[in-house]
Amino acid sequence: MASAEELAVIEKAKVLMVGAGGIGCELLKTLALTGFKDIHLIDLDTIEVSNLNRQFLFRKQHVGQSKAKVAREAVLKFKPDLKIEAYHANVKNSDFNVDYFRQFNVVLNGLDNVDARRHVNRLCLAAGVPLVESGSTGYLGQVTVHVKDRTECYECQTKELPKTYPVCTITSTPSKPVHCIVWAKDLLFGKLFGDKNQSSDLVVHTTDQNTSAATEDAEFFNLKDGETFESYACRVFDGVFGHNIEVALKNEDTWRARKRPRPLHINEVCSDSKRMRIDTLTSTANGSSEHTVSAARMLGLNNHQEVWSLKENASVFLQALELFHATRKKEFGSLVFDKDDQLAVEFVTAAANLRASCFDIPMQSLFEAKGIAGNIVHAIATTNAIISGLIVLEAIKLLMDSLDDCRTTYCLEYPRRRMLLMPAELSGPKSSCYVCSQTPLCLEVNTSNTKLKDIVEKIVKGKLSVNSPIIMQGSYLIYETGEDLEEDMVARYNQNLEKCLDSFPTPIVDGSILLLEDLQQEFTCSLQIKHRETFDEEKEPDNMVLSGKFSTAARDQTSLGLVQPAVDNNPIQAIEDDDEVILVGDAAKSGIKRKSLEEDAVVSGKRQRTEAS
């Protein structure tokens, strides 16, 4: 329970929650029960059936509705005096700008993707609002605290990104179940039911008349006139698992150091008479609706945890392909794999297993294949509940102004040092961090009547002494100078100089950030634009005001990846090796390292040297 003192602060606090999913549902409930009264909630997702087992604020009748809005209503039912603003929107939407973030005492993340986390991190830094960041994967979870200039920001550490696989491995030389699943889901499924115009490298091409791959023909995957669903499905089977493998086998060099795959033909797997088959048309006519259609169920394969035999996989493949044609034809051309689409999961499981069998790779159960295909580690409600409890505890410490007591807490699957919740001290900001080590300069300007030229002359060259400026807005270079530029580029850039800030294709308006570089000097800074209508002619003759810390950092090459960075991929592992871990309740002194003054001096010194050269 919170103390009276804490409760007073909690009741006055205004918090922003980003994400109303697995962690979000638990978090909103915990905030409400802890006594928080003023909560904003942003989530762009709608509720799906697969959410219902753990996102307990949602019920079946809410499927398809906004997570944020339904979560709000559900909590208001047991805490009607709460003020909850729910937005069914993307947090990256420009409505949620720096000024929006400034109104909160603390921001709490319950997000599921790195991209949105980075965005919130940057806005919190810009607005100077503390952030409690969280994440969970199965039994594992983590909660940490980010405060501008005092702790690491979310981007100080390089994050491990989800793995992608080289196309060659997927199309020619799979060696793991996941390679086959990616092949079935991204290549085969797309080729059969998705956008035909999307280029795909599934097809093996050859000019040799006698060995031309069956699937080379653009028409191969289409149902021919007069062809029955069954003979179509068998033809696709033989082409994809038989003929294409035979063609691939002709690349002798490929198999010199690898195990040669084995082609599969339908008649070898199960002869015509023994094929498990249920008449697609009659059984679908029996009232099963489109989205509950299941080839596996028709074939009596109801245990999703069991690995099907080769013959069963072949039967599911054929049956699913027939069912797609019989019941889902109108979606062809626009279907994308979705882990909640039962028939799609069955088809992908069977196709991946058949390919796995060709390459002598272990087959997977539908349940496992679905997990891999959807990149899912099955979420655990209890982990999310623990994580949201920890988020609220850290938030309270921040509100009580006790940053020194804040910790990063890891939630573990197996106890270490007899603990399942492992706390660690927060680290100070990394001076090499590209995101938080930069203090953006602020430029107040009237964005509707100031031209880019005015900024280049008065500020960039005049005040910041940049010789050959390069100006970038997001992913776009909007201005460069230099003798090496082609004439047509010079002409375009000269046109840009004459444009008013707010008339750029991506308008430069209040809250926009420009990145400024020098072609020759090692100079980089960002310029945050603040719109102001009028200026005092006498005191502000430039009609713009530049403010902010003036010493800009020479860019650290490590943070740009130019020097290979030492990546800390496994924070949990790192902790285990670290003897500095602090136990719960340990009244150790603050571990937060402040950015040293010497370091700042070195950085501005570099800049001076560059100028002098």
Partner 1 sequence: MATGLAQARLAEERKSWRKSHPHGFVAKPEAQPDGSLNVMLWRCTIPGKEGTDWEGGSFPLSLQFSESYPTKPPVCAFPAGFFHPNVYQSGKVCLSIINEGDGWKPSISVKQILMGIQDLLDTPNPASPARHEAYLLFIKNKTAYKRKIVEQAKKYPSLP
The letter for the amino acid at 380 is I
Beta carbon of residue 429, minimum distance to Zn ion (angstroms, whole number):
6
Is 67 marked within a binding site? yes
Active-site residue flag, 168: yes
Nearest to Zn ion of 433, 452 (CB atom): 433
Q: Is 592 in the site for Zn ion (CB under 5 A)?
A: no
Q: Is 164 in the site for partner 1 (CB under 8 A)?
A: yes
Beta carbon of residue 207, minimum distance to partner 1 (angstroms, whole number):
4
Nearest residue to 359 (alpha-carbon basis) of 252, 269, 261? 261
Beta carbon of residue 152, minimum distance to Zn ion (angstroms, whole number):
6
Binding segment (CB under 5 A) for Zn ion, from list 3-11, 429-437, 508-516, 601-609? 429-437
Is 418 marked within a binding site? no
Is 112 marked within a binding site? yes
Rounded distance, CA 239 to CA 321, Å?
14
Rounded distance, CA 133 to CA 153, Å?
10
Nearest residue to 337 (alpha-carbon basis) of 183, 138, 209? 183
The b/e string for 177-212 (b: 16+ C-beta within 10 A; e otherwise) is bbbbbbbbbbbbbbbbbbeeeeebebbbeeeeeeee
Identify the residue among 82, 381, 464, 472 touching partner 1 (CB under 8 A).
472
Identify the residue among 225, 253, 537, 580 touching partner 1 (CB under 8 A).
253
- Check if the beta carbon of residue 431 is closer than 8 Å to that of residue 595: yes
Show Cβ contacts of residue 45 under 8 Å, excluding neighbours closer than 6 positions: 20, 21, 66, 67
Token pair for 137: 């994967």
Beta carbon of residue 59, minimum distance to partner 1 (angstroms, whole number):
36
Q: How many residues bind partner 1 (CB under 8 A)?
A: 70
Is 54 marked within a binding site? yes
- Check if the beta carbon of residue 552 is closer than 8 Å to that of residue 513: no
Please name every residue paired with 524 in a beta bridge, in sequence order, or none if there are none.
Answer: 517
Identify the residue among 41, 42, 108, 153 touching Zn ion (CB under 5 A).
153
Three-class SS of residue 87? Answer: strand
In the set 25, 124, 168, 411, the catalytic residue is 168
- Check if the beta carbon of residue 546 is closer than 8 Å to that of residue 450: no
Beta carbon of residue 121, minimum distance to partner 1 (angstroms, whole number):
10
Rounded distance, CA 423 to CA 121, Å?
22
Is 52 marked within a binding site? yes
Q: Which of Zn ion, partner 1, none has residue 519 at its interface (CB below 5 to 8 Å by kind)?
A: partner 1
Token pair for 88: 């069914």
Beta carbon of residue 520, minimum distance to partner 1 (angstroms, whole number):
8
Is 225 marked within a binding site? no
Is 116 marked within a binding site? yes
Rounded distance, CA 441 to CA 458, Å?
15
Q: Is 436 in the site for Zn ion (CB under 5 A)?
A: yes
Rounded distance, CA 558 to CA 568, Å?
14
Binding site residues, Zn ion, CB under 5 A: 153, 155-156, 433, 435-436
Residues assigned a catalytic role: 168
Binding residues: 19-24, 43, 51-54, 67, 112-117, 153, 156, 433, 436
Binding residues for ATP: 19-24, 43, 51-54, 67, 112-117
Binding site residues, partner 1, CB under 8 A: 92, 94, 115, 118-119, 122, 155, 158, 161, 163-168, 171-173, 199-201, 203-208, 213, 247-248, 250-251, 253-254, 256, 434-435, 470, 472-478, 480, 482, 484-485, 489, 492-493, 495-496, 504-505, 513, 515, 517, 519, 524, 526, 555, 559-565
